[in-house]
Amino acid sequence: MIIAERKPIEEILSIIGDVDSVLIAGCATCVADCMAGGEREVGILASALRIAAAQRGKQLEVLEVTVERQCEREFIEKAREKVDRVTLVLSTACGVGVQAMAERFPNKPICPGVNTKFLGLREAEGVWSERCAACGDCTLHLTGGICPVARCSKSLLNGPCGGSKGGKCEVSEDVDCGWHLIVERLTALGQLDRLEVNIPPKNWAASRDGGPRKVVKKEYRDEERE
């Protein structure tokens, strides 16, 4: 799941500036699950903006809409009527949703209301942590199902650096050493010998380093199907 966190209210107020009307556009998928930008959070943010405007003696019309998936064009279309009525749209979807809205409504300012953080897992109520760096070349089978790219602060591929202590990363005592977890897991699986293989330099071209990525499934493309 894509994990996001609402921007601080001061930053949001600064982003929307002096507009007289705003649509807060939520998304009912990932950002709803991580309680950053679903229908409930849209409502809370709308109230906060109304209160802030009232405190400053300003007129601000705040509309609300939450679509099923802001990253899909057909769902976005359902927001069109409200988008047309406002000066600015504040999207509480992830960065994909914001950009999908911007593509769909080219003449309307579409602004982010959340910070898109990472691909993560809900660990406990109110706690999410990063699990995947979307590097495009998954090697989880080599490391006991624990990703060294996402979970080692240095993305090391051949084992832990010399900086971990007591199972924690040198970056912070709040961060588990990803390699410590891998070693523990492979030990439990009786597969520690897997770490004896030297992993060559990674091909980061499959990652963001290769430029913006695209996946095309030809079998679903009419014009490319034989």
Partner 1 sequence: MKSGSNLEKVLAAGHFAVTAELGPPMGCNMEPVRKKIELLRGTADAYNVTDCQTAVVRMSSIATSILLVREGLEPVMQMTCRDRNRIAIQSDILGAAGHGIHNCLCIAGDHQSFGAAGKLKGHPGAKNVYDVDSIQLVGILKQLRDDSRQQGGDALDGPVPLFIGAAWTPLGDPIQIRTTRLAKKIRAGADFIQTQAVYDIEQFAEAMRKARDKGLHERAAILAGIIVPKSAAMLTYMNKSVPGVIVPQHLIDRMQAAADRRAEGIRIATELIEQVRRIEGVRGVHIQAIEWEAAVRDVVGGAGLLPRPVV
By the criterion CB under 8 A, which residues form the site for partner 1? Answer: 153-167, 169-172, 177, 179-180, 183-184, 187, 192, 195-196, 198-202, 204
- The DSSP letter of residue 203 is -
Question: DSSP letters along 22-47, please?
Answer: EEEEEESSHHHHTTSSSHHHHHHHHH
Q: How far is the CB of 151 from partner 1 (least distance, A)?
A: 13
CB atoms within 10 A of CB 63: 18
At closest approach, how far in Å is the CB of 189 from partner 1? Answer: 14
What's the closest the beta carbon of residue 86 comes to partner 1, in angstroms? 35
Q: Closer to partner 1 by CB, 54 or 171: give it.
A: 171
* Neighbouring C-beta atoms of residue 58, cutoff 10 Å: 11
User: DSSP character for 111?
Assistant: E
Q: What's the closest the beta carbon of residue 195 comes to partner 1, in angstroms? A: 6
| Least distance CB 132 / partner 1 (angstroms) | 17
| Amino acid sitting at position 75 | F
Contacts of residue 116, defined as CB under 8 A and 6 or more positions apart, other chains included, come to 2, 3, 4, 94, 95, 96
Nearer to partner 1, 70 or 164 (CB): 164
Nearer to partner 1, 17 or 163 (CB): 163
Of 59 and 172, which CB lies nearer to partner 1 in the complex structure? 172
* In the complex, least distance from residue 105 CB atom to partner 1, rounded to whole angstroms: 32
- Cβ nearer to partner 1, comparing 103 with 173: 173
Hey, which bits of the chain come out as E strands? 2-6, 21-27, 61-67, 88-91, 110-112, 114-124, 127-132, 168-169, 172-176
Would you say 26 or 148 has its CB closer to partner 1? 148
Place of tokens 């107020």: 13
Q: What is the rounded CA–CA span in Å between residue 202 and residue 205?
A: 9
